[in-house]
Structure formats: C-alpha cells, structure tokens
C-alpha cells in the first residue's frame, strides 16, 4: 500500500488509517525517551511550502521532519501576494529541479496540493488547502480521541462552528465516520450548509445538541477573514449562541465531556478563558500528537515512482459515469 501523496482523507483506506494511528503511537513513545530523533528519513529533504500563515502546523511538520532526521527547507512566500495557480506551477517546476523528496504545502485554494502532486515526483502532503482538506489535522484528532477512548466506535463528537469554510470539519468528520464514530454539527444556519454530508446530523441550538449526549465537543476556529459577506452579526452574538460560556462549561464539566479545538483559539468567541484550564481540554494533547502523526505520515509516504501526468485527469471521472456510456 505504498502511497506517494497524502492529499485528503476521503481516499484513505481504513487499514491505512489504522496503520498510521498505530505508527503514531510508537513515535509518540519516543518523545519521552532521551533520544528523540530516529534516523528513518536521514539524507532526505523536506520542503515547507506555506502560502498561508501558519505557526502551529508549520512548526509541527518541521519538528516532525527533524525528529526523523530529514533536512528541512523553508520556501518563503510573500504572505501578501495572491498566488494563483499559474505562478504556483512555475514555483513547483523550479522546486522539482531541487530534487526535494517531500513537499508540505498549505494554500488557500482548494485542490491546489493535488495539482502540485501531479506535477512532481516528490511526495506531497496537504497541510491544508482552502476549505477542502486538512488530513494530518484529522489524523491527529482521531489519534487524540483514541487515546481517551481506545475503542471509539459509537462515540459521539459534536463539532461546533463554521462548517462551511472549515477544512478541519470536512477532514475530521470524514475520518471519524470512517472509524465508526458518530458526528453532528452545530453552528449558524449561514455556516452549516444544508447540502452537506447526508449522514451527519445537524443541530440548530445548543440545548438540542447537548441532549444528543456527545462525548467530545469539538470547537472550530471562527474565521472572520474568510467571510466576504457577513455570515453572522457579531462575535458577541456568536459567543452567546454557540460559544462555550462559563455556564456551558459547568454543564460540560458535570457531564465529563472532552473539549477539542484545532487552534489557534479565539478567547471570548468559541470559548471562554476558563476552558483553557479545563481538566478535560485536549487542546494541548492535539498539539503534541500532531508531531507524532506527522512523523508517521512522513515515514509512511513513498516519494518518486511514476512521474504523474500534468494534464487534468478527465479520463478517470469520465469513465466513472455510466449514463455517459450510452
């Protein structure tokens, strides 16, 4: 099951997911030993191609790569310039000449890492593309939940917030469903699409969602910057309706629920300050586990192989449609 790229969760098989989660467990065990480094990627190069600002994911990948003894290069992109597909292609063609083995890419445009993967022999890891996918986040979330629930089948995860623009919501819920967990959404009507996945329950108010008795409450970062037209009137109103207020935290504590958040948090919006000290907050566990997951992913992918074709893959989608073979 050699794989060149990790672009999304949808294309991962159950066995691959289990394998990655198990591998992460052994990498994590390494963290507490005196020698944190393993030599598995010695002599390999990892290129960090971040077109969107990111401290956590960027650092997490960098630490993971270094603990695998890989050489890490940061390709600095001017954060202010809007980078269209055309110039990204040129960049990738340049990078190809540098013979890097792995490219970790984050970009605001959905589907762009897939385009890069078709252009290069290097293994491409999607570190977040637009509202499309964030596979390593999903894996670290699943890993974090599995640490608390060794048999997570049937456990319930309530995801609260901006589902529409969230690649985390897409990837994490896809992965949790694949692992047999139950997922539900809660958020403003303008940010939870009606045409979203059919197998995911949708709640319209907090009380109803709590009555569903979730095991984990997963808060999404409210991203004001992605909103070209306002989706809700104010952050204060958002917090009142969907945020974890002190009162709601008391209820969560009483029910013994876990709280997760992909970070960085907006205090006073998704959650109140007290949540940061909540004993069942897994937010820091997520950060730590992120390194183990990314080590497992880097260790697992196989760069090289067939040079992929640069043209869009029309044949594939065409052939899949029975009504067209009339």
Mark the binding-site residues for carbamoyl phosphate, compressed into ranges.
56-57, 106, 134, 137, 263-264
Give the shortest CB-68-to-other proteins separation in angstroms.
29
* Contact (Cβ atoms closer than 8 angstroms) between residue 201 and residue 158: no
Give the shortest CB-110-to-other proteins separation in angstroms.
4
> Is the torsion defined by CA of 35, 39, 44, 48 positive or negative?
negative
- Based on CB atoms, which residue is closest to other proteins, 111 or 263? 111
How many Cβ atoms sit within 10 Å of the Cβ of residue 198? 5
Which of 173, 163, 172, 54 shows the shortest CA–CA distance to 105?
A: 54
Mark the binding-site residues for L-aspartate, compressed into ranges.
84, 167, 221
Tokens standing for residue 215:
């095991």
Give me the residues that bind other proteins (CB under 8 A), please. Answer: 10, 84-86, 88-89, 109-112, 114-115, 129-133, 164, 167, 170, 193, 195-197, 228-229, 310-318, 320-321, 323-324, 326
> Is the torsion defined by CA of 102, 106, 109, 111 positive or negative?
positive
- Based on CB atoms, which residue is closest to other proteins, 114 or 214? 114
Mark the binding-site residues, compressed into ranges.
56-57, 84, 106, 134, 137, 167, 221, 263-264
Give the shortest CB-201-to-other proteins separation in angstroms.
16
Give the shortest CB-183-to-other proteins separation in angstroms.
15
Q: DSSP letters of 126-190?
A: EEEETTTB-HHHHHHHHHHHHHH-SS-TT-EEEEES--TT-HHHHHHHHHHHHTT-EEEEE--TT
Give the shortest CB-141-to-other proteins separation in angstroms.
17
> Is the torsion defined by CA of 9, 11, 14, 17 positive or negative?
negative
- Based on CB atoms, which residue is closest to other proteins, 277 or 323? 323
Q: For 160, left (φ over 0), alpha (ψ -120 to 50), or beta?
A: beta
- Based on CB atoms, which residue is closest to other proteins, 211 or 307? 307
- Based on CB atoms, which residue is closest to other proteins, 55 or 320? 320
- Helix-helix angle 167-178:135-148, to 10 degrees: 50
């Amino acid at each position: 099951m050699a794989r060149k790229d990790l672009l999304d969760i949808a294309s991962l098989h159950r066995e691959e997911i289990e394998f990655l989660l198990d591998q992460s467990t052994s990498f994590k065990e390494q963290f507490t030993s005196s020698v944190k480094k393993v030599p598995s990627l010695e002599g390999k190069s990892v290129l960090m191609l971040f077109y969107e600002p990111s401290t956590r994911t960027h650092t997490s990948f960098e630490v993971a790569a270094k603990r695998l003894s890989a050489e890490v290069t940061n390709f600095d992109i001017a954060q202010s310039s809007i980078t269209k597909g055309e110039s990204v292609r040129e960049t990738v063609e340049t990078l190809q000449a540098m013979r890097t083995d792995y490219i970790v890419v984050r970009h605001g445009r959905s589907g762009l890492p897939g385009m890069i993967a078709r252009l290069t022999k290097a293994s491409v890891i999607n570190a977040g593309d637009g509202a499309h996918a964030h596979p390593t986040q999903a894996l670290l979330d699943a890993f974090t939940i599995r640490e608390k629930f060794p048999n997570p089948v049937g456990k319930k995860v309530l995801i609260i917030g901006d589902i529409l623009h969230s690649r985390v919501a897409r990837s994490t819920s896809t992965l949790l469903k694949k692992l047999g967990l139950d997922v539900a959404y809660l958020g403003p009507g303008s940010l939870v699409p009606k045409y979203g996945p059919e197998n995911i329950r949708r709640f319209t108010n907090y009380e109803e969602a709590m009555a569903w008795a979730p095991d984990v409450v997963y808060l999404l970062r409210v991203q004001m910057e992605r909103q070209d037209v306002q989706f809700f009137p104010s952050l204060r109103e958002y917090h009142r309706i969907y945020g974890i207020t002190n009162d709601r935290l008391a209820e969560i504590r009483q029910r013994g629920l876990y709280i997760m958040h992909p970070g960085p948090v907006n205090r006073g919006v998704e959650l109140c300050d007290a949540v940061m000290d909540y004993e069942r907050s897994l937010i820091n566990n997520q950060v730590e586990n992120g390194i183990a997951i990314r080590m497992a992913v880097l260790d697992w992918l196989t760069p090289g192989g067939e040079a992929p074709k640069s043209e869009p893959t029309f044949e594939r989608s065409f052939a899949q449609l029975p009504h067209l073979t009339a």
